[in-house]
A and B are shown apart, each in its own frame.
Chain A
Amino acid sequence: MAVSTPDAPAAGDAGAPPPGQYSGGQHDGRNRDDGGNRGGGRHGGGDHGDGDHGGGRRWRRHGHRGHGGTGGPVGGRSPLSSFAGHAVLAVLSVACVFPICWMYATSLRRPGDIYDTSLLPWPLSIGSYRHAADVIPIGQMLVNTFVVASLTALGQLLTGLLAAYAFTAWRFRGQRLLYLLFVGTWLVPFQVTMVSNYTLLFRLGLLNTLAGVVIPTLCTALGVLLLRQHMESFPKEVLEAARIDGRSSWSTLWTVVVPNLRPALAALGIVLFINAWNEYFWPSMVLQQANSMIQLGLRGFLGGTEGNDWGGIMAASGLACLPIFGLYLVLQRHIVNAFVHSGLK
């Protein structure tokens, strides 16, 4: 999967896991592919993509390549194609990042220089930020959004963890059907369920509350799917041993499974947090007053000024992005990994 994969051949060369490694994952015929991939992936830098099936054999190939040294990809490494590659990626990177840079540049100009076109704002000024904070209660909105996103992510992790555990630790009647029920939520668009959910929230008296934003989103197929795939790679023997030791399934979950899944849980948690932070449709329906979550406040600000207050708007937008970019700067690799992985599933 993901981003570590472009480096994966190197990882394969360095320490191709012994063939025995993946055998632990092949406990069950139907899930052989998943299991095999997972089993190897946890050791080889998380290299398990969806396009790849028949995981076990792949490792042997990698290992083989390490010894035999068939060389790099086809055609070798010509400086020209490498230069072209750099050029393409550089252009793409600028195209992707420029609007964001421009937003921060505008927000940091002095209110008088807003229409400047220099890329680096000078002299710097936080006047726009101060102005934005006067117009809308940014601090309060950021706190609200943070609370909602955290609770949503935690709830989704918990329901996902329990459901994934049920799907992996037991074989039971109706398993496939129930699993499809979880995955099927992907297909049901929000626009079909919104009327009924809206009226239910109304009846529960949860409209215009942050709880009303959080509660309907407490379970996500993504969490169940990803955690289940991680759990499939977990050796069944360990679960069996814990059971024979007389541990209840509940304590096995928290003392054996969860500590081993910590990296996966952390990565998934971050993805869910960011998704919840960026969710707009549902909060905009539940919360009528505009100044409760950052995107709604921003939307109100944007509509209210008719686009003449660009300094303030860019400052508010910049603040709306800031927590996520902060998280991204610290955990860049993991976040990209987790997102691309979740996209592949």
Chain B
Amino acid sequence: MSLDERITPEQAATQVGTASGENKEYSVIGKSVGRIDGRAKVTGQAKYTGDLKFPGMLYGKILTSPHAHARILSIDTSEAEKLPGVKAVITHKDVPSLKYGISPARWDENIFCIDKVLFVGDKVAAVAAVDEETVYKALKLIKVEYEVLPAVLDPLKAMDEGQAQLHEDYPRNLNTEIHQSFGDVDKALAEAYHVRTDYFVGQRAYQSPIEPHSAISVWEDDKLTVYSSTQSPHYFQYYIARQFGLPMGKVRVLKTHIGGGFGGKLEPTGLEFAGAVLAKLTGRPVKMFYDRHEMFAHNRGRHRQYMKLSTGVDQNGKILGVHADFVMDGGAYTSLGVASAYYAGALLTILYDFDNYKFDMYRVYTNLPACGAQRGHGHPQPRFAFESHLDNIAKDLGIDPIELRLRNARKANTVTPNDFKVESCALTEAIEKARDISNWKQKRSHRPQGRGIGIGLGAFVSGAGYPIYRTNLPHASAVIKVNEDGSSATLYTGAVDIGQGSDTILCQMAAEAMGYSFAKMQIISADTEAAPHDFGAYASRQTLMSGWAVKEAGEEIKAQLLNTAAGIMGYAVEELDCRDERIFVKDQPEISKSFAEVAKEFFVTQGPLVGKGSYTPPKLGGKFKGAAVGTSPAYSFAAQVTEVEVDEETGEVKIVEAWDVHDCGKVINPALLHAQVHGAFYMGMGEAVWEEVKFDDQGRILNSNLAEYRLPTALDMPKFHSELVDSYEPNAPWGVKEVGEGATTPTMGSISNAIFDAIGVRISSLPMSYEKVWRALKEKRKQQTT
């Protein structure tokens, strides 16, 4: 489908009603239908990878390094092999030595370490045995002799001369270096009325899905099937096939239900690679799994990041130029982090309209677990920094923070300095609505002791403009097959429901496009063999991208049906339409045939009724190095206001109430959409105040459990309001945009600004823990008395 075939915003305006309300134009989309997997999930019938069992199945685990940096001198597996019940033990000698990672330039990871281990938790060997207990016991019997090497744990020192180097090919531990410049920042700052520089630090956070990772590998002759808790079966299939030199057609990757991902299940973990080898060696299915500690050790969470921001503004607060100078702690491998590094700078231009922008980034290797993509990929921490920085500027200028944002807010049909084209954008409306529903003005002017209210804005891509690895495959595709008697239809798609509800909304979209009903839809998704290709659940891409493919497939079904109906009913195709399972004459709707009747006739006369669709975004973005990252057909926008109460003696922060107003285009399922906002705010809130992965001076994680890595509980979550503004995105099916990741981007900034408002001191590092708040207040009192 080309861009020209899509409707214009003007046409759309006549078709689309309010974003929040029901829409008479549509039968299926825009409605809060219950989840297609709801019943399975409330009854316990829903099977996750770890729940699956196969005859003769073995259990497997990976042995990991106890040292942050060490040379492997020898590995002795003999004792482990002797333990009754152990069926296979493997090391680097038993697996391919091909390196993998996100892009050829940075393939830096092996299935098992060969010469050196690079972090506590690095993969060394694996065991398969008859049960879980035996596997754990066998791991303890593998003897690895190490020569411990000096480790680099501080990213700010990792680039210094004389520091230990992790990878031979990366001097000074520089994994990624980015220097981008647009316009003339130096000139803009020199000419500005006011220039402010602030420093912020973001912490290492972890996605912490409640379901631990697992993967079951099964061989039938030379074909490998991997059941995995993955966000992207396709990406796994690609790398598994590559490692083992198999054609992709000989590797089937599929998921059942996924217990959350948030970026942490986007790339292969080693469970798939090691499991495939163990299954081959033993001739039995092998289930590999992580426990909670191992999840933390594998990590791939949010990067620790050091952020310096300098911004020049004119007298009215209009932003003239911004310089972002960042260092990211990448951990021991690239993982998906090169993309995180680009995203960190790329999306700083999306919310506010300014011409001059400079972005410098150093992503460095350290002997810590690798960091990767976590909800909002790369954007939430820089956004926290920028939103906090902007409130500091507002205070300097004596301008209300909302007023300052309104003066700079991006408008529809504009282009960012780094060449992102923004078509729909209702940011101003979102800010105004958030201001009004939160009662901002009143709360800002009369606040009780310890109370504060703050705003933060956010935005995100509705799918990445370019694929996750270099390929010319379409980004999404879909097939719909109508059952022979028309009584049901099945959507086949590679899109991945990891909990966000894509199976449900894609079925709504399919039914809408076909003129069918949601209740009769079924779905087979995220199975590289049974469903057509899709890149999966990341970059908040599925509603728009998978949605386009599904819409096209549904429309193809409808076109074929109308064609058949025209013959039966004696009308021209143009005179007919199909909705709610009825094909009718547009001018005389009482003349109609049922969908099922015509579908059956189609099958009898022409064979299977199948529709297909695929989607590739148009060429997006500029020509500079890294121009691809941050491009998207569409961007969501959000304003969040948070009210907090701080105990000024203990530093305890209570989030009292929060309001989110979103521009996320046309909404397919309002209930699921708001639920995404709730969860996104929740995750941002956790990172704002509670969550941090902590290490000791040997690089060992101190809190690899859910008691000390504190996800907020139901008692910590505030009263929450999620609202929408009307919006329609011309580059998207039915005008949709993303919501799942963007909604987490404003949260840390809005909480930071609320705490600032409450206590008058800026906490510039995440998380804004009770102790940090206590310390800041103590310092403030000290300064006041001197």
Task: Tell whether A pairs with B.
Answer: no
Q: What is A's interface to B at a CB cutoff of 8 Å?
A: none
